[in-house]
């Protein structure tokens, strides 16, 4: 007797997050009419200079939902058309200050089209069409903003770099013991990396300037306190903190977070995350304002990662 029971559709009803990338080129200018030319220059630097400047923006749209019987959360063709209709088709090769009413600063409700403000406005343009979970907007490869639909809260990330050498070894144990823990990284003359550092801050977007914090001041703080101090050093010898602390990627990331937390707070934002990449294969992330979820607090018994 032949069974009439249909085969269950793999994945139907299960949740998934999908992403769609879109690009557009636009210009903007940071200038508030209630400020004098001197005040605008002080606040926004070269970004205040007329007629403005431009960027090749990259937008990452994340959407969540259940798989349908066709194995999709959404039809990507529909997603593409929604993004083009509501965002890129309107912004590409346009002057952002003029294209959307939200950025009309002649109106007291207007906000400057910073990366943070732009990603938040894009969210509100797309949210009725797409089941958004997050948006990321790259102004350039070293500066981007993330938005999760939480009122005016946004995350701003600045990426920078420095070159430094280090040696992974504990002074109180032998060379052979260090080799067992750190491998080649324990060799006495050390080795170097071109480190990439992502500094992510969070805060509310100012309803007028469009900024989470003063970007120029943030970049100066990072450069003065981190890059200038660590670049072209032998960390174990040149940085006092690492005289007695092994400069692993994890410890360097923690060191950076400890240095930046208070100065960033003084700028009006909160340090959220430090990501330090020492090579294409290795990186460490420190979430400054939150703890790891319980699912990550695992004890790996009888595992290679267990150290005693």
Catalytically active residues, by annotation: 185, 232, 278
Helix (H) or strand (E) holding 91: helix 89-91
The CA radius of gyration of the chain, in Å to the nearest whole number, is 24
Query: Rounded CA gap, 132 and 63, in Å?
Result: 4
Q: Which long-range contacts (CB under 8 A, 24 or more apart) does 215-219 make?
A: 215/114, 215/143, 215/156, 215/158, 216/44, 216/45, 217/267, 218/156, 218/158, 218/264, 218/267, 218/269, 219/158
Is 27:52 a contact under the CB 8 Å cutoff? yes
Query: Rounded CA gap, 267 and 213, in Å?
Result: 6
Query: How many helices and strands in the chain, by DSSP H and E?
Result: 10, 10
């Amino acid at each position: 007797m032949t069974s009439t029971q249909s085969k269950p559709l793999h994945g139907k009803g299960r949740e998934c997050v999908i992403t769609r990338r879109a690009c557009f080129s636009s210009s903007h200018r940071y200038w508030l009419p209630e400020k004098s030319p001197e005040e605008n220059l002080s606040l926004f630097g070269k970004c205040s200079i007329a007629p403005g400047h431009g960027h090749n923006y990259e937008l990452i749209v994340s959407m969540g939902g259940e798989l349908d019987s066709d194995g999709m959360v959404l039809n990507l063709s529909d997603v593409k058309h929604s993004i083009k209709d509501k965002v890129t088709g309107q912004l590409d090769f346009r002057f952002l200050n003029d294209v959307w009413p939200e950025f009309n600063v002649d109106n007291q409700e207007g906000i400057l089209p910073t990366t943070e403000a732009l990603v938040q406005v894009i969210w509100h343009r797309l949210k009725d069409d797409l089941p958004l979970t997050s948006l990321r907007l790259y102004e350039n490869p070293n500066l981007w903003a993330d938005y999760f639909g939480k009122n005016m809260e946004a995350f701003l990330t600045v990426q920078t770099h420095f070159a430094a050498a280090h040696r992974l070894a504990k002074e109180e144990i032998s060379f052979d013991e260090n080799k067992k823990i750190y491998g080649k990284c324990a060799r006495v003359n050390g080795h170097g990396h071109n480190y990439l550092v992502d500094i992510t801050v969070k805060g509310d977007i100012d309803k007028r300037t469009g900024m989470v914090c003063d970007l120029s001041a943030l970049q100066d703080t990072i450069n003065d306190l981190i890059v200038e101090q660590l670049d072209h050093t032998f960390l174990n010898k040149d940085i006092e903190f690492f005289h007695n602390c092994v400069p692993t990627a994890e410890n360097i990331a923690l060191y950076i977070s400890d240095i930046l937390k208070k100065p960033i707070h003084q700028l009006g934002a909160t340090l959220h995350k430090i990501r330090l990449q020492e090579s294409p294969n290795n990186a460490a992330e420190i979430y400054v304002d939150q703890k790891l979820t319980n699912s990550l607090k695992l004890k790996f018994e009888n595992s290679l990662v267990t150290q005693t």
